[in-house]
Structure 1
Amino acid sequence: MNIFVIGNIFNTSGVYTHIKNVTEELVKLGHAVTLYTPSFLVDPSRKKVLDELKGVEIHPLVYSYLENGVTTQIRTFRYFINSHTVYFNWGDLGPDKKILDELPSKVNIVYDMHEDPITLRLSYHIAKKLGKPLVKLLHDEPFRNSFGRGYRHFLGLKGWVYDTMMYFFYKFDKWAFLRAMRDGVLRGIASVSPSAFYYSGLDRVSEKYEVKTKVYKPGNAFNRDILFKYRKTRNKSDFAVFYARLVPQKGLYELPKIARELNTKLVVCGKLYNESDKRFLEVEGIEYKGYLPYDELYRTVADAKVLIYPSHQDGFSLVVLDTLALGTTVVTYDIPAIRFVYGGLKPVKIVREYDVKGMAAVANKVMEMNEQEYENEHNDEKVRQFLDLHSKWENVAKETEVFLSSFVK
């Protein structure tokens, strides 16, 4: 297949990890992959990632954006509004309109590797111009059939305002998907886990328009050759660890409350996106190490006896996956993304969302486990099978290959 990919290779989250590894593996499987990053997602500070992609052809316009000083609009209020109102500006592609005149001559399918309506608008016009099927990938849900995203529970009044806005924005986002399906352009929707369909109901809506859906199994993976070098299930140190993007939706504001209930210190690793949030890390019981190089991070997580993960928002948590691969037990909230992917695995302890005391209590019990009991949980057959399935990005690429090829005649 000749696959034209819409992907934000400059992304700093697990989305980047998925895009990079899956596109590279698709090339290894014999497919030609051309990747285009929309102008509004180009980030000059991370241009080195383009050199890290192996075998994937980067569309020349991406380099042109970098040369002309185009920079990412993410985390700006303007982008926030624009990204949720694309339905009302369906034909406005801005600088990305250029791509319609510079598309590759040989394309079998357009693969938009983001759930966002703003990339859907672009990929819709590309697929329509080419006369080829469009397949969309969901990491998180593109919208919810609920009141906001639950931010009111941990952001107070600001969260109420945000959830109220999102209540209406989600309706606009849904209209964008309905248009793409109704027009016969969007032909397939895949997801890295069932949670995106659970929240949005897109799997049910798509049936009306005969749009195929699929949950990839596995939807993500870890690098076995790297992580297993650090894996450790014995001789653990007596401390808990947290690592992720240091933002409220990942549980940043709950960390001080959890730390107060722990019988050990909580080591926190990650990048702060808002300097004013540093006060949540400058409390007794928390040792903030900042952003660590991968080798130091893996050693720290493998040495810890338990990962505290009070995340409210995930599609398929690579933090939890990598932590399991490193041989460390996880205590996390009961949210769909965790329940659907990790439910039933002994080293993943699930507590009610927002129950900070319950999370700390379970973590304290993990800290008290003897080595044999701890190791037995990590060597459980179900855990071993789970890690084996998720230890190769090739497995994710093959799931992707099967789904995409079903649209190519």
Structure 2
Amino acid sequence: MVKLGIVYNNFLSPQFAGGGSVHAYEVVTRLRKTFDIVYYPSSPVFIWSKDVLERRAKDLERQGIKVAPDFYTLLDDMEKYRLTGVKRFLYADRIAKEVSEKYTVDVDFLYEPDHTSFDIFYLGRKAKFGLTIHEPLFYANSIRYLRRLMKFYGINLSTGRGFYTRFLYNTLYAKPKYTRLLKEYKPTFIASVSKGSLEESGLQGEVIVPGNAFDPELLKYRNRGKEEYVVFWSRLNNDKGIHEIPDIMKIIYSKLGRKIKLVVMGKFFDKYNERRFWSKVKKYDLDVEYLGFVERKRLNEVVSKAKLLIYPTHVDGFSLAVLEALALGTPVVAYGIPAIRSVYSGLEAVKIVEEFDKESMALESKKIISMNEREIEDMMNNETLLSFLRLHSSWDNVAESVRKIILKYM
């Protein structure tokens, strides 16, 4: 059987590491049917304790994913690789090199399923390799990126996490670093869960279709009726447009000629974001119910009964929130950033407007809110959408797309 080396860190994370890690786990566990898998934990794992890493590694091996024996040797000397804070940022490249040198690579091909470290490039000196990105690896057009950041972050120099930190990271660190690595250690392929992330990075590559999947259990919540509210759930930060939502709701009120409740779920990024959001809610006298972080069953129920998911996102590589809303039978209005357009354009149930166009987002929202239940059900059950959902309702389909890409370049 062909040997496939997996280079990654978040398989060993003791906490939820986001949608990219879900994709990576679901795909890799299915690739075992075709390949003899050997897992090479990458350097960022060393932020965790030795006990945690050993336990997580043994758990993976019990699931049939072999961990490279060299990793257990690295654990005996892990303190010199265990960097946090600013040091982790400054020396990530050097640590990736050192850790990569310690591994003996005996596989036919190396693959990184959710690029989160530099290790894949340095290990790539020992075997052919490919990688998948979920969000842009970097932003190729720095000036356009700066203008967008200033618009959705606002010009506030007091937060410590403003537009300037993101811009400087991209311009002075990510863009030159990855440009150099891609030139010196050229991968045989770069894949992405959407065409949009490749476009933003200015890279050529393969698009994984489907790029992600949802739990088919979500389909059981469809067609159970709608209630008079709209919903938003995600990370509650600038990237997802949290501060634009009150502005959009205010315009919706004026177009409807009445109030409609907004239900918000998720955790606020920081106190500044939270204060700013609630200040606008109070100023506009909006009807908002905040549920915080809710468990999965409750989230499914709330989203499925909403008339609409309002989603003014600025940063996404695919958007599982949009996919899951569609699976739950709820239409979406979203900003047309490249990832959203490349995955969801052509679906009647996803109304796409230009980024930052709050007026158009409110207008499209008003149209859907004004529909009756039968009209919404008809829209959510047309054959184009149902075919899209069938394709995205199984991780087997995602893994098969990845398998074909790997074999194509191997």
TM-score normalised by length of structure 1:
0.82
Q: Quote the residue 2:110 is aligned against.
A: 110
Structure 1 stretches of 5 or more lacking a match? 87-91, 204-212
Instruction: Give the Cα–Cα distance (whole angstroms) in 2 for the partners of residues 12 and 101 of structure 1.
Output: 26
Is the CA contact 2:115–2:132 (under 8 Å) kept in the aligned structure 1?
yes
Distance 2:77 2:311 in 1: 36
1:390, 1:380 → 2: CA distance? 16
CA distance in 2, matches of 1:382, 1:220: 18
Q: Secondary structure at the match of 1:289?
A: strand
Quick one: which of 285, 297, 307 aligns to 1:295?
297
Structure 2 letter corresponding to 1:327 = G
How many angstroms apart in 2 are the aligned matches of 1:320 and 1:141? 18
User: Aligned to 2:65, which of 49, 53, 56?
Assistant: 56
Mark the CA change 1:181 to 1:335 in structure 2 (over 3 Å): closer, same or farther.
closer
1:9-408 matches, within 5 Å, as 9=10, 10=13, 12-39=17-44, 42=47, 51=59, 54-58=63-67, 61=71, 64=75, 73=84, 76=85, 86=93, 92-93=94-95, 97-103=98-104, 106-115=106-115, 119-120=117-118, 122-128=119-125, 131-146=126-141, 147=143, 148=145, 150-158=148-156, 159=162, 161-162=164-165, 164-166=167-169, 168-169=171-172, 173-183=174-184, 185-203=186-204, 213-224=205-216, 226-229=217-220, 231-262=221-252, 263-282=259-278, 283=281, 284-408=286-410
Q: Alignment partner of 1:157: what SS?
A: coil
In structure 1, what residue type is equivalent to 2:218?
L
- Equivalent residue pairs, number: 379
RMSD of the TM alignment (CA)? Answer: 3.1
Report the AA paired with residue 228 of structure 1. L
Q: 1:356 to 1:191 in 2, by over 3 A?
A: same
- Which secondary structure state, in structure 2, belongs to the residue aligned with residue 353 of structure 1? coil
Distance (Å, rounded) in 1 between the aligned partners of 2:83 and 2:193 = 25
SS at match of 2:268: coil
- CA–CA separation in structure 1 for the residues paired with 2:192 and 2:76: 29
**CA distance 1:179–1:407, change in 2 (3 Å):** same
Aligned-pair CA distance for 1:40: 5.7
Question: Quick one: distance in 2 between partners of 1:103 and 1:402?
Answer: 26
The answer to whether the 8 Å contact 2:134/2:193 transfers is yes
Counterparts of 1:154 and 1:139 in 2: how far apart (Å)? 21
Alignment gaps of 5+ in structure 2 = 157-161, 253-258
The CA distance in 2 between the partners of 1:309 and 1:199, in whole Å, is 20
What TM-score, normalized to structure 2? Answer: 0.82
Measure, in 2, the Cα distance between the counterparts of 1:67 and 1:163. 30
Give percent identity, aligned residues only. Answer: 31
Q: Per the alignment, in what secondary structure is the counterpart of residue 4 of structure 2?
A: strand
Question: CA–CA distance in 2 between the matches of 1:264 and 1:371?
Answer: 16
Counterparts of 1:364 and 1:52 in 2: how far apart (Å)? Answer: 49
CA offset at residue 155 of structure 1? 1.9
